[in-house]
Amino acid sequence: MKKGRDTLDVWIDSGCSHAAVMDTHPELHCPADLYLEATDQHRGWFQSSLMLSTAFRAHAPYKTVMTHGFVVDKDKKKLAKSDAGKGGKPTDAAYFYNQYGADIVRLWVSSVDWQNEVPFGEDLFKQVAEPYRRLRNTLRILLGNLDGFDPKSKIINLSVVASAKSDHQSTILDKWILERLHEVTKECLAAYESFEFRKVFNAINQFCTTDLSAIYIDALKDRMYCDAPDSPRRLASQAAMYEIFSSITKLLAPILAFTADEAWEHAAFTEGSVHEQDFPKADPAFAPSQVSKDVDRLFQIKAVIQTAIEARIQAKEFTRNNEAAIELTVPESDAHLLEKLNDRDFATEFFIIAELTVATGAELVATAKKTDLPLCPRCRKHEPLVASGLCQRCDDVIAKPLT
Ligand SMILES: [Zn+2]
């Protein structure tokens, strides 16, 4: 350390950092991609940098300037750097990452609206712990479902899922989730490009909570747990889940740096670090199609069925969703969905019920009663049973030697 005697003026000194820093480090370049500071630097560092660089090299020293609002307390009072060391202040990052872990700190930063004043309090901070657990849990469930999956074997590849052919009725859900992933990927890439990290957080959080956990993974439980390992529809879902896992992990990597790295490392089918990967691309084969429209309509039908089931459960006629036999009437405008609704495998899986009979009529109505079908002791679905006492699917799975 030696005392410097050559400070001319703090704004001149910081304003020529492009010459002192970028020009003297071969790995850096001028103009810089990004200058980042708070809104008070419009008249400070951004301004002096611009003036000195224009005089010195006739152009700005940065390609983009990003200005963020101040972190304020709940009474909108500015929290200054000099508050560091007093536990509970956001500037005291060590307190928070020791308390919650570094990824929660990063997730909180990504979740705030940085363009305006950022209110801070420990209770606001705690609110991101819940979505964090959800994101982590989603990655864990995907990894569990991908056990034994080899993306290189290509028994079923994504083109089969993309075609959603009628001999693979059930792949309509896989195609739908990949169409949702296409939209989420597009949204996240655009959001990263414009530093709108909050949009990335919201898009992925929403996708994981609603589309993946509440719908897709829930409906697919039976096929993932009870189908044979080489069942085409199970492999199709694994191909879809592989795509989802690798896209989501890569998209989360800049925010949940440690969690994404850990998940990537844990997967048997990945190479290198997630931080060495490029962002995923939105696959045009999964741009939203008629499938998304059909599935959206099927969700509306599912809601009507669910109301009918809940009324019967309230009346104590039966206790679980999969005991329900449903009589459904759909309007003529849903005629194109009849093939799917009449497919027993599809209908019982999608609506998580025992039986469905469909007719067309004036309006959408459903009635529920308890099914007469017996319970398969292996998959816990109500199905016609064969001699072994299992349903046909389970009987086939048991009979087949594991390869
Ligand atoms: Zn069974």
Residue 298's nearest CA partner among 175, 145, 156, 143 is 175
Q: Which has more confidence, 116 or 189?
A: 189
Angle at 12 between CA 8 and CA 16, to 5 degrees: 120
Residue 394 Cα to ligand 1 middle (Å)? 4
Distance from residue 88's CA to the centre of ligand 1 (Å): 54
pLDDT tens for residues 345-362?
A: 889 999 999 999 999 999
The per-residue pLDDT for 300 is: 95
Q: Helix count (H) and strand count (E) of the chain?
A: 17, 7
Cβ-contact 112, 124 below 8 angstroms = no
- Mean pLDDT, to the nearest integer, of 95-124? 86
Distance between Cα 315 and ligand 1 center (Å): 28
Which CATH superfamily does the domain covering 297-372 fall into?
A: Class I aminoacyl-tRNA synthetases (RS) (3.30.2320.20)
Mean pLDDT for 85-100 is 68
Q: How far is the CA of 391 from the centre of ligand 1 (A)?
A: 4
Ligand 1 centroid–CA 264 distance in Å is 34
Residue 1 CA to ligand 1 centre (angstroms): 75
369-397 as b/e: b if 16+ CB within 10 A: bebebebbebbebbbebeeeebbebbbeb
The β-bridge partners of 34 are 64
CA distance 303 to 318: 19
Q: Give the model's pLDDT for residue 11.
A: 87
Report CA(380)–ligand 1 centroid distance (Å). Answer: 6
More confident residue, 401 or 33: 33
Q: Please give the pLDDT value at position 166.
A: 45
> Both tokens of residue 257?
């740096």
Q: pLDDT higher for 159 or 187?
A: 187
Q: Are residues 31 and 60 in contact, defined by beta-carbon separation less than 8 angstroms? A: yes
Q: How far is the CA of 24 from the centre of ligand 1 (A)?
A: 70
Distance CA 267, CA 246 (A): 10
Q: For the chain, what's the residue count?
A: 403
Q: Residue 382 Cα, ligand 1 centroid: separation in angstroms?
A: 8
Smallest Cα–Cα separation from 175: which of 287, 13, 26? 287
| Average pLDDT in the chain | 89
CA 222 to centroid of ligand 1, rounded, Å: 9
User: Is residue 137 helix, strand or coil?
Assistant: helix
Asked, as a colleague might, if the bond just before 31 is cis with ω within 30 of 0, I would say yes
Stretch(es) of the chain classified as CATH 3.30.2320.20 = 297-372
Q: Dihedrals φ, ψ of 240, to 5°? A: -65, -45
Cβ-based neighbours of 238, under 8 Å, separated by 6 or more: 145, 146, 149, 156
CA distances, 278 to each of 107, 247, 267 (Å): 21, 10, 17
Each as own residue / partner, the long-range contacts of residues 36-42 (CB below 8 Å, 24 or more positions apart, any chain) are 36/65, 36/66, 36/67, 36/68, 37/67, 37/68, 38/67, 38/68, 38/69, 38/70, 39/67, 39/68, 39/69, 39/70, 40/70, 41/67, 42/67
Binned at pLDDT 50, 70 and 90, residue 70 comes out as confident
Query: Can you state the percent helix, strand and coil of the chain, rounding each to 5?
Result: 55, 10, 35
Confidence of residue 380 (pLDDT cuts 50, 70, 90): very high
- Could you tell me which residues are beta bridge partners of residue 329? 359, 365
CA distance 212 to 219: 10
Q: CATH 1.10.730.20 spans which residues of the chain? A: 129-288
Q: H or E element: which one contains 224?
A: helix 218-226
pLDDT surpassing 70 at residue 370: yes
Spacing, Cα 112 to ligand 1 middle (Å): 47
Residue 123 CA, ligand 1 centroid: distance in Å: 47
Distance from Cα 220 to the centre of ligand 1, integer Å: 14
Q: How far is the CA of 215 from the centre of ligand 1 (A)?
A: 21
How far apart are the C-alpha atoms of 91 and 80, rounded to whole Å?
A: 8
Q: Which helix (H) or strand (E) holds 360?
A: strand 355-361
Sheet holding 324-331, edge to edge: 355-361, 324-331, 365-370
23-27, 81-85, 89-93, 332-336: the lowest-pLDDT one: 81-85
Q: Per the structure block, which two tokens stand in for 344?
A: 């027993």
In the reported structure, the alpha carbon of residue 372 is separated from the centroid of ligand 1 by a whole-number distance in angstroms of 16
Looking at the predicted structure, is the pLDDT value of residue 27 above 80?
A: yes
* 225 Cα to the center of ligand 1, angstroms: 11
Structure confidence at residue 196 (pLDDT) = 93
Ligand 1 centre to CA of 385 (Å) is 8
> Ligand 1 mean position to 227 CA, how many Å?
9
Distances (CA, A) of 314 to 19, 220, 226, 310, 311: 74, 26, 30, 6, 5
How much is the average pLDDT of 83-99? 65
* Domain 129-288 indexed as CATH 1.10.730.20: yes
More confident of the two residues 363 and 230:
363
Instruction: Give the CA distances from residue 155 to residues 149, 290, 398, in Å, rounded to whole numbers and listed in that order.
Output: 10, 26, 22
Q: How far is the CA of 393 from the centre of ligand 1 (A)?
A: 6
Q: Which residue type sits at 170?
A: S
